Structure 1
């Protein structure tokens, strides 16, 4: 009895799917190579955010435990990259006293050219802040010691574009204390820079 070998032909749909997958794989690999080469050429470094200057414009504390203050804070953003502009967005800093929020400082999206710096001046005026007994003691002590401390906490998201296929994204974070002398309202300079530096 004759035996016939069965032949199974591959569906055209499967061939088309395989070709499409192969093309996608090649594009992904090529894009990865371009981004990697771009990174090696540009080698982007995370910008440095720091407090360039500050001033205690106004400080009032009455016997009822209500604190009012106004500060000027200048944030400096440095882009040390020699081959790429840096774009910044979601820039936000929270200013507080003894954990009590005073103000939120924000900036719209902006760009810093390569090897340049940008200054962000903020004038912060708080609403009257009622203090509990422990905070009243903290203010009393600060005035007697002639040093009052505020905290600033925040940062910005940064990115560099590498051709049409990709970009590098980083985050800059700033967490530090700002010290002032209530007697003459001057800022006591200290090292206040972002935690990520490359």
Structure 2
């Protein structure tokens, strides 16, 4: 019995050592967890600062770009080139009772205007139509050409239209116009304009024109005064 008790008494220190080792290991785990959280927090903080720096650089870039565009605008003060009808005259109109325009002759001068003081402009794709009450009477076109700064290039058209058949509504409209002595003709179409602002920027827009001229005919064929110029969007 005494030996058994002694043996039992000797085993007790071994159990205590196991508990101490367990507590020591548990303490190490407690110390490792804060270190992991510390590393993750530092990593998150670094990402946040990187995003802040990136956003700051982007904001500075946008401000610089905006300031540059504004400075170029103040320097060049760009204006849209446009088309302007400077003269229009209905020289001849023969109309048959069958509703056919036997002969129409129209003198038309259109100015391609560039009011920019620091850059030349280019006009291309000029495509215009002379119409009467929804019917196309003549097509007017021009190739690509340049207009120097603060200047204009005249486009002179001698329009001739023969044998254009009108619709029943168009026939009635023409009869009424000839009786009233005022013949309406429409001009509409578009052209592409291109010009540079600064060294790198090149602007390109469509300019569109839509006007109705009232000609004294039969009479001297002159058109009533009208400000007919194209507009860009």
- TM-score bracket, normalised by the shorter chain, equals 0.7 to 0.9
- Matches of 2:113 and 2:215, distance apart in 1: 25
Provide TM-score, normalisation by structure 2: 0.66
Unaligned runs of 5+ in 2: 1-62
For the aligned residues, what is the CA RMSD? 3.3
Distance 1:48 1:57, change over 3 A: same
State the 4+ residue runs in structure 1 displaced beyond 4 angstroms: 29-36
Please identify which structure carries the higher helix content. 2
TM-score, with structure 1 as normaliser:
0.77
Task: Please state how far the C-alpha of 1:103 moved relative to its aligned partner.
Answer: 1.4
> 1:139, CA displacement in angstroms?
1.0
Where do 5+ consecutive residues of structure 1 fail to align?
1-28
**In structure 1, distance between residues paired with 2:230 and 2:166:** 31
Q: CA deviation at 1:72?
A: 1.0
Residue equivalent to 2:112: 77
Cα deviations by residue, 1:38-77 (Å, 9 ceiling, x for unpaired) = 3331121112322111111221111222113111111112
Matched, 1:126 2:164: no
Tell whether 2:179 aligns with 1:144: yes
Residue 50 of structure 1 pairs with residue 122 of structure 2: no
Matches within 5 A, 1:6-155: 37-68=71-102, 69-155=104-190
Considering only CA atoms, is the larger Rg found in Structure 1 or Structure 2? 2
Deviations 1:141-175 (A, max 9, x none): 11110000010011222121235422122332211
**How many Å separate the matches in 2 of 1:128 and 1:43?**
48
Q: 2:193: which partner in 1?
A: 158
